[in-house]
Structure 1
């Protein structure tokens, strides 16, 4: 079909629908007018757009923060567009220097491979992986000759690189910057050249890298991609970006009760943001919820219950979500012990230090963590709080051990 041919009313309606839906939660589109033009071209010709998400496979545990861009990809996918999930197995050996205060350690081929596989498995909980193209940038980057690399390097000045906040800070404070780190954004941009990407999606912290794709596509005679950025979502502390290292995250592979319980601790002021960016709840329902929270007709607790249920349903199914909600109501609202407490057969000493007991039951991963949990008042024996780290427990049949709000164990001496 002629790309210049005017859109029919039906086609125009579809374009308007896509643009409105796909702009949900977006921080910036560069350039905005080209975004609509690409959607129009796709509708007019019936050819799907290539939508790219690049991943540096260095940390394989996917959390709700990561799903913000994945939800956007899912939207594109539902409109029939082609998702390009790029595993940076080659760039992953360097590591994205974004936000880093020092040179990243180089990953081995085996580490990259393992992390990439874990990402694909977890992303499959959101995307239709059968309709997603999985690409590895070693396919083209490893084939570049040195003169190709020199041509690539010639597309960017050192001054432009040093405009990046992370490089600028390290340069001003005298911290080392390895030359190979400058190649990360160049290689990521070259990925868009090789993949003929139409739209690249990423977090706001990836703006520099995403713009590089546009610059290099133009340099190599390709149609320039559109950059679409989404916000970084704050973690459970309500302040810092969600991160496993900060322990303020909700992992999509965590147990249903853990996901639901963590969702209930999301700060009230962030609930609507989580709904908009990390779920597929329709916008009209979210707007009604936001209005209800503002005028007091919706209690924040009820909104969190729905959000917790939604998260569990998305990653474990509706039945698990119903059970997690009931578990929360039983344990926390009614202050009752859950009915399905795991039973552990105890064959050790009848007198055991509490710290050792918690580690042996895998309720804490180390004695240090166990000590801190006890001192913080997070450990109970038969519903009695224990705060003395030197406590020696007399193990009894059917004794209930509780750590935090969601971990329980019943000991059996038979």
Structure 2
């Protein structure tokens, strides 16, 4: 029993950026294993867009893990607060959504979310159901629990205040409403991104003010990096994997990430246990496993999750066929180069040639290609991106330029 409890806590802590009140977290898990007592984990989702990418699913994966260890998930749709606009991490007031926009996005959001969550262990709740009932007097009473000075401690607000960027009074209300959600739902744990820390802590504070005789554990997850491994995953940056992407596209995108970023994705997105991931890492380190094979396992798992069992294997077969047609090996050594690295130096750094002089001779002989396009300019420099660098018919490497 004790071993199972420790394993459960380790899995819950996996990939987290910060946990506040881990003593109570352990108590909740222990009570489930020893007394079969369930507990409630809340996560709020503002339906600001109808489609999710893998960055959004980091929280969903953690919620699914909590369900495995006794939690009932409170999947909170912020239909009321979405019409105010969450300012967290923003340098300007976010445009509120109309009721029509909210309702349209909710249907798509929940459909995608239940590809990860256990529907039988999830309560989908809407904060419009109780926040509307607060009324003007209730809102004023709620607002009395927070000072302007405390609100201006928030980094985004302080920056906007210092730069004379307008801050609407309604934006001050938002964290109070999110905190009140935890009072109404009597949540035991709330999870969110690191940019939500102020709002998550507000739930703890208000549960104390309203004499709930408990304060929620706060668990924060990091922001998932996109395909470039640098910027956060974002549709606007084009470095995302959408959960509605076609299976073959999704598979190819996962395979395109660097070997280093692969472990980050395993940690935050995979359902494999810490022990299983550690065994794979050891296999890669002692060269009994090729990183490409491990990355394929991740890609298959993710494609199966969103397109059904077997879709991942089908995508893997199709990917192999495409590469075979181009005479490109499916297993490539990866090299990370600095932005602006010249082609001759890159060939040396990627162990394709011993010297830049040899690289120049190979280039003059027409043996050097980038993404199967012949390169004849020995002054060519790499810019940010991912490329297949080739010398002759049999020497290929994957180049990642940051």
Class of the TM-score when normalised by the shorter of the 2 chains? 0.7 to 0.9
RMSD between aligned residues: 2.3
Q: After superposition, what is the alpha-carbon deviation per residue over 1:69-97, rounded to whole angstroms, capped at 9, x for unaligned?
A: 11111111122321100000000011211
Where do 5+ consecutive residues of structure 1 fail to align?
Answer: 1-9, 338-382, 386-404, 406-414
User: Does the aligned pair in 2 maintain the 1:77–1:83 contact within 8 Å?
Assistant: yes
2-structure distance, mates of 1:112, 1:76: 27
1:251 corresponds in structure 2 to: 242
Q: Secondary structure at the match of 1:85?
A: strand
- After TM superposition, give the deviation of residue 45 of structure 1 in Å: 4.2
1-structure distance, mates of 2:51, 2:327: 32
- After TM superposition, give the deviation of residue 275 of structure 1 in Å: 0.7
- Equivalent runs, 1:188-199 vs 2, <5 Å: 188-199=178-189
Q: So what's the TM-score if we normalise by structure 2?
A: 0.78
Q: After superposition, what is the alpha-carbon deviation per residue over 1:361-400, rounded to whole angstroms, capped at 9, x for unaligned?
A: xxxxxxxxxxxxxxxxxxxxxx999xxxxxxxxxxxxxxx
1:61 corresponds in structure 2 to: 51
Question: In the superposition, relative to structure 1, how do residues 102 and 127 fare at CA in structure 2: closer, same or farther (>3 Å)?
Answer: same
1-structure distance, mates of 2:216, 2:209: 12
2:160 corresponds in structure 1 to: 170
1-structure distance, mates of 2:318, 2:36: 48
Q: Which residue of the other structure, out of 215, 219, 234, is the alignment partner of 1:228? A: 219
Q: Which residue of the other structure, out of 298, 309, 312, is the alignment partner of 2:303? A: 312
- Equivalent runs, 1:256-335 vs 2, <5 Å: 256-335=247-326
2:359 corresponds in structure 1 to: none
User: Does the aligned pair in 1 maintain the 2:183–2:203 contact within 8 Å?
Assistant: yes
- After TM superposition, give the deviation of residue 318 of structure 1 in Å: 2.9
Q: So what's the TM-score if we normalise by structure 1?
A: 0.76
**Alignment pair present for 1:73 and 2:63:** yes
1-structure distance, mates of 2:224, 2:373: 37
Q: After superposition, what is the alpha-carbon deviation per residue over 1:78-120, rounded to whole angstroms, capped at 9, x for unaligned?
A: 2232110000000001121111111111110010011111110
User: Does the aligned pair in 1 maintain the 2:77–2:124 contact within 8 Å?
Assistant: yes
2:381 corresponds in structure 1 to: none
User: Does the aligned pair in 2 maintain the 1:58–1:95 contact within 8 Å?
Assistant: no
1-structure distance, mates of 2:289, 2:163: 50
- After TM superposition, give the deviation of residue 68 of structure 1 in Å: 1.2
1:27 corresponds in structure 2 to: 17
1:114 corresponds in structure 2 to: 104
- After TM superposition, give the deviation of residue 287 of structure 1 in Å: 0.9
Q: How many residues align?
A: 333
2-structure distance, mates of 1:185, 1:250: 30
Question: In the superposition, relative to structure 1, how do residues 312 and 136 fare at CA in structure 2: closer, same or farther (>3 Å)?
Answer: same
1-structure distance, mates of 2:205, 2:28: 18
1:39 corresponds in structure 2 to: 29
1:356 corresponds in structure 2 to: none
Question: In the superposition, relative to structure 1, how do residues 46 and 306 fare at CA in structure 2: closer, same or farther (>3 Å)?
Answer: closer
Q: After superposition, what is the alpha-carbon deviation per residue over 1:193-227, rounded to whole angstroms, capped at 9, x for unaligned?
A: 00000001111121111111000000001111000
User: Does the aligned pair in 2 maintain the 1:330–1:336 contact within 8 Å?
Assistant: no
1-structure distance, mates of 2:16, 2:270: 14
User: Does the aligned pair in 1 maintain the 2:11–2:274 contact within 8 Å?
Assistant: no
**Alignment pair present for 1:182 and 2:172:** yes
Which stretch of the first structure deviates more once superposed, 189-198 or 247-256? 247-256
Question: In the superposition, relative to structure 1, how do residues 44 and 297 fare at CA in structure 2: closer, same or farther (>3 Å)?
Answer: closer
Where do 5+ consecutive residues of structure 2 fail to align?
Answer: 329-371, 375-387, 389-402
1-structure distance, mates of 2:151, 2:107: 32
